[in-house]
Amino acid sequence: MNRRNFFTQLFTMALVLCAVSLPAWAQAKTADRAAGILRIHEVKKQDAAASLVGKKRLVPVSVKMELAELIDNAKLQSVRVELITLNTDGTKTRISGVFEEIGELVSMKLPMPDGVFAKSFTLSAVADVLRNGKKEILRANKSGSF
């Protein structure tokens, strides 16, 4: 009888210890995680919708990205986006912008000389996120061809 009582008490103490330490462990685990994930889904240029300004064309480029899996009431402050294109004449074009919202699409205007087209790109995005009063930085990159 004594032995059974001892194992019951031991089991009860282990159960209480788990119940007390589990919330602290879960909280520490979220503190180590990033505030969220910045994803770039798609980069599209629309040569047909380009507007002519002098001898250059302004080609609309739309970027579809999202800020996902936000934790601890994290809020987006801004996203810095830089687009570098390799063009058909061998040159590179670089544009950048800062956005306070990313919504469904972010639009940028790519200046291109007449008769020159972007053939590939590298897009870098850096998001400043505020989580529990502290600033965190999330990054994403995407490369591809148009």
pLDDT tens, residue by residue, 36-94: 899 999 999 999 999 999 889 999 999 999 988 888 888 999 999 999 999 999 999 99
DSSP letters for the chain:
-HHHHHHHHHHHHHHHHHHHHHHHHHHHHHHHS-S-EEEEEEEEE-GGG-EEETTEEEEEEEEEEEEES--TT-EEEEEEEEEEEEETTS-EEEEEEEES---S-EEEEEEEETT--EEEEEEEEEEEEEETTEEEEEEEEEEEE-
> What is the value of pTM for the model shown?
0.74
pLDDT band at 105 (very low <50, low <70, confident <90, very high): confident
Residue 10 reports pLDDT greater than 60: yes
